[in-house]
Amino acid sequence: MLKNIAIFISGSGTNLQTLIDESKKSKLFKIVLVVSSTKKAFGLQRAQKNNIPTIINDKNFAPSQLIKQLKNSKVDLIVLAGYLSILKGDLLKQYKNKIINIHPSLIPSFCGKGMYGIHVHKAVINSGVKYTGATVHFVNEGIDTGAIIDQVSIKVNSKDTPNSLQKKLLKYEHKLLVSSLKKILINNYKIINNKIIWG
């Protein structure tokens, strides 16, 4: 059965574009809404080009309005794709275990408050670790603390910079986000003690 997806963005929307492309091929989901934390996000243009309704969820937009829009759009699942605002309150309750996020590290390493975007890759380079990666997880009340759906790892080379590492990881992020989304749409699962039990 086709599921309705809302994508939350804050920037260029490369993960959004990956999901738009996949939605055209897949019979699993349809993107019915794109929510941006800022009107400056280039991802909004990607949505508009594909005739996907958009919302600017800034400080002028009440949380109750956002929930109402999601309900009106019959959203089954929310995907955070580079969304830089922290979700809290009724939205988390209304969509418990129905919000997923992609984070550019191997959680529980290099995550939590202040760990987003290039800051993550700077911390990875400074630490000297030999491997990093990306994680797709469910969103809960904490920051990057929800149940892990899947991860991918890549090698950190001695010549890598934060920018080169970010660029190198991006294509793996795209694939991971698509495969993780499909995984939870196709399979039965339950979350016990913050771990996913499949089947």
Catalytic residues: 103
- Nearest-angstrom CA–CA distance, 89 and 68: 14
Those residues with Cβ within 8 angstroms of residue 111's Cβ, 6 or more apart along the chain or in another chain: 103, 105, 120, 135, 143, 144
- Nearest-angstrom CA–CA distance, 195 and 119: 27
List the one residue out of 61, 86, 56, 90 whose CA is nearest residue 146.
Answer: 86
Those residues with Cβ within 8 angstroms of residue 4's Cβ, 6 or more apart along the chain or in another chain: 29, 30, 32, 73, 74, 75, 76, 77
